[in-house]
Amino acid sequence: MYTLPRIIVALDFDCMKSALAFVDQLSPLQCRLKVGSELFTRGGPELVRRLVDLKFSVFLDLKFYDIPNTVAQACLAAADLGVWMVNVHALGGAAMMSAAKNALQSYGANAPVLIAVTALTSYNEKEWQGLGFKQNLNQSVVQLAQLTQQAGLDGVVCSAQEAAVLRAEFGPSFCLVTPGIRLAGNMHDDQQRVATPEEALAAGSDYLVMGRSITRSPEPEAVLMRLNSVF
């Protein structure tokens, strides 16, 4: 289940100054923003607060993966920053995800949306199998999503290629956030399981995470305007 805007721009910049200069061209009505490990390690909570103060919905994409107590406390710290969405790794297990969910309950209706990463979109089947998993990538993603839903989380990060199956399996209110989005004709870079925005929407994705397709565009606003017109 989504609310507009549905595009989350991944602010993968190497310094706070460039990130803020880029954000200056954007409006919270056009997009949400994602702060990942690179930028957070550079800009820290101060940057996140700045973006929240600018009225952007911020997805703090730090993919927490640790023991239950540590992850629960990290989720509380994220909620204190006023972020809209935060995530953990489903591979951290049911106890860890439940601890995160329970910790956020004190925030009531103001709690950030809590989602879990199933399998990174940069994995391909060979690499996944090489980690020792018996199931194939698609089966593993479904199982990890099931664990996520049972732990009471709001949804998962998944590739658009898995979104249709997850939508059918877990229903309309399970939030699907899909990175690995590329405009037709764009390079795939390090992503393996990619889709166009249209394909991701058709597959049932709620929110599209778009990094380089927008941040490297000479006209990011125009790209956003064009994409928003089809939502």
Interface residues toward ligand C5P, by CB under 6 A: 10, 12, 36, 61, 117, 120-121, 157, 179-181, 189, 191, 209-213
**Min separation Cβ 211 and ligand C5P, Å:** 3
Query: Active site residue: 17, 34, 63, 134, which one?
Result: 63
**Min separation Cβ 108 and ligand C5P, Å:** 27
DSSP state of 109: G
- Which residues are CB-contacts of 59 (< 8 A; sequence separation ≥ 6)? 8, 32, 33, 34, 35, 83, 84, 85, 86, 87, 177, 209
**Min separation Cβ 93 and ligand C5P, Å:** 18
| Lookup result for tokens 């954007």 | 26
| Lookup result for tokens 């380089």 | 212
Tally of residues, the chain: 231
Tokens (6 digits) for 205: 């994705």
- Tell me the DSSP string of 46-107: HHHHHHHHTT--EEEEEEE-S-HHHHHHHHHHHHHTT-SEEEEEGGG-HHHHHHHHHHHGGG
> d(Cα 60, Cα 80) in Å, to the nearest integer?
12
Task: With CA atoms as reference, report the closest residue to 213 among 41, 31, 17.
Answer: 31
Q: Are the C-beta atoms of residues 144 and 119 closer than 8 Å to each other? A: yes
**Min separation Cβ 55 and ligand C5P, Å:** 22
SS3 content of the chain, % helix, strand, coil (to 5): 45, 15, 35
**Min separation Cβ 217 and ligand C5P, Å:** 11
Phi/psi at 200 (5° precision): -65, -40
Report the residue closest to ligand C5P, judged by CB.
211
> Does 55 qualify as catalytic in the annotation?
no
Just list the catalytic residues: 63
